Amino acid sequence: MTTQNPAGDLEKVVSKLPALMRQDLKVRAAEHGCGIQDAVLQGLRSWMTADRTVPPVPTTGAIPFATHLPAGVWSGVREVCKQRGIPLVQGLAQAVQHWLTDNPSPKVRPATGIPQRLVVCNQKGGVGKTAIAAGIAQAAAEAGKRVLLVDFDPQGHLTDQLGLREIPNSKDHDSLAKHMVGENEHPLDELVVTLEHDKFGGRLRVLPTCMDGFLLDTMLVLSKLRTKEPALEKALRPLEDDVDVVVIDCPPSLGTTMDTALYYARRRDGEEQGVSGVIIPVQAEDSSAKAFMMLDDQISALEEDLALEVDYLGFVVNLYEARRGTVATSSLERWEKMEHPPLLAVIGDLKEQREAVRLQQPLLVYASDCEQSEGMRAIARRLS
C-alpha cells in the first residue's frame, strides 16, 4: 500500500487519499500559493504534534496519491499511526484534513439574499437520495446554517426516517402540492416542523410529505397556472427569508414534478455559478450511469426550452462496497474520472445509516462520529 524510494534528500511516498480530499488539497494549496508537497508536509508535522483530537476521516474509495517528503518524516508518520492504532491511509487523511482545517479557503461568497438550493435527484430509485439529502441538511444545520429540508417525494421515506408525521391527505389540510397549484388556505410555514435536537439548535426545519404528491403531475396539468415549472419556487418563496439552505429530496421520476424541482435549482440572477444546483446520488453499478443520462437529457431540454442554467454540483457514490467485485470498483473508477460533474464523496454501505433509519433518528444524532456522518459533513463543507 505504501512504498518509499530515495530521491536525493527527499523520499517518494506512495499512499492513498480520498478523491474529494485530494481535489480539495489541490485547490486549497493553489488558493494559498503553496505547493501540494509543502501543504502535506505542514499537515503531517502539525498532525503528529497536535494536542487536539483529530476525528476519523472517511477513506472509502481512496485512490493512489504520491508526494515527496524530507527523509525520515514518513517513518515518523508510521510510528505515530502505530501508537494511535490507525492505518497509514487514515493517518495521511487526518493530516491533510488538519491542514485544510487550519487553512480555510480565502474565498468569501457575496451575500445575495438568495438561499442556497440543493436539489437531490435521480430518476432511479434505491440509490439513497433520501439519506444524502437528510445527511447534507443535518451537516449544514450542525455547522450553524438555517436549513429547510423538503420531503418532495410522496413515498415519504424522509418523513418516516426522521420520525415525523405525514401531512394528512384530506380536503381539510393544506399540503405543498396544494400550495403549488394555488389551492391552499393557510401559510406554508404552518406545515413546517422543527427537528428538535441540541446539535441543530433549532436551525433544521422539515416540510413533511403528503400522499397527494402522487397526483401532483395531474394537479399541475389541470391547474390554472400559465407555466408549471415555477410552481415549487412560488410555493417555497415565502419561507426563503428565514433560511440559508434549502434541500429538496426528490421523487424518482422524470415528470412535470421533477421539472419544478429542476427549475427551483436553476441559477438565479445575481447568483454565482456552482452555489445552487443538483446533487446526484448514484451507485457503483451500470444502471446508475443510464439513469444519469436520462436525467441529463431532461435538464438539457429544460434549459433549452426555458433559457435557464442548472448547475451540476456533483455526484455522490452511495452505498459503496468494494467487496462486490469488479462491477463496483470499475464503476467507481468511471465516476472518479468524470471531470464534470465532480465527485463529491463516496459513502460506504455501512450499518449506522440503516440503524438510524430503523430507530427514526437523524444519522448525525444517532452516530455522530461514524464514517457516513463524516462523509455528509465533507459534502456540506464542499458545497458551503
CA dist., res. 184 & res. 124, Å (int): 31
116-383 has the same fold as 3-102: no
> How big is the chain, counted in residues?
384
CA dist., res. 128 & res. 117, Å (int): 19
Q: Does domain 3-102 have CATH number 1.10.1220?
A: yes
pTM of the model: 0.79
H/E stretch holding 29 reads helix 19-31
Query: pLDDT tens digit string along 340-350?
Result: 788 888 888 87
**Domain 116-383, CATH homologous superfamily name and number:** P-loop containing nucleotide triphosphate hydrolases (3.40.50.300)
Which cell is 31 given? 488558493
Q: How confident is the model at residue 3 (pLDDT cuts 50, 70, 90)?
A: low
Which cell is 82 given? 502505530
Peptide bond into 341 cis (omega under 30): yes
Chain-centroid distance, C-alpha 104: 19
φ, ψ at 202 (rounded to 5°): 75, 10
CA dist., res. 147 & res. 178, Å (int): 22
Is residue 308 predicted with pLDDT exceeding 70? yes
Q: How confident is the model at residue 325 (pLDDT cuts 50, 70, 90)?
A: low
Is residue 1 predicted with pLDDT exceeding 50? no
- Determine what percent of the chain is predicted with pLDDT higher than 70: 89
| List of long-range contacts for 46-49, beta carbons under 8 Å, 24+ apart | 46/95, 46/98, 46/99, 46/102, 47/80, 47/91, 47/94, 47/95, 47/98, 48/76, 48/77, 48/80, 48/95
Domain assignments of the chain as residue spans, ordered by start: 3-102, 116-383
CB 45 within 8 A of CB 335: no
Q: What is the pLDDT of residue 123?
A: 83
Among the listed ranges 72-81, 238-247, 325-334, 359-368, which one has the minimum average pLDDT value? 325-334
Is residue 327 predicted with pLDDT exceeding 60? no
Q: How confident is the model at residue 289 (pLDDT cuts 50, 70, 90)?
A: confident
Which strands make up the sheet holding 3-7, listed edge to edge?
3-7, 10-17, 63-70
Q: If you search the block for the grid coordinates 430518476, which residue do you land on?
A: 123
Q: Which residue has the higher pLDDT, 109 or 51?
A: 51
Residues near 154 by beta carbon (within 8 Å), at least 6 away in sequence: 209, 210, 211, 212, 213, 214, 216, 251
Residues near 282 by beta carbon (within 8 Å), at least 6 away in sequence: 122, 124, 127, 288, 289, 291, 292, 315, 316, 317, 318, 335
* Mean pLDDT, all residues of the chain: 88
Q: How confident is the model at residue 110 (pLDDT cuts 50, 70, 90)?
A: low
CB 384 within 8 A of CB 119: no
Residues near 91 by beta carbon (within 8 Å), at least 6 away in sequence: 47, 77, 80, 81, 84
SS3 at position 81:
helix
CA dist., res. 193 & res. 285, Å (int): 36
CA dist., res. 213 & res. 236, Å (int): 15
Choose among 380, 278, 319: nearest CA to 131: 319
Mean pLDDT across 172-193:
95
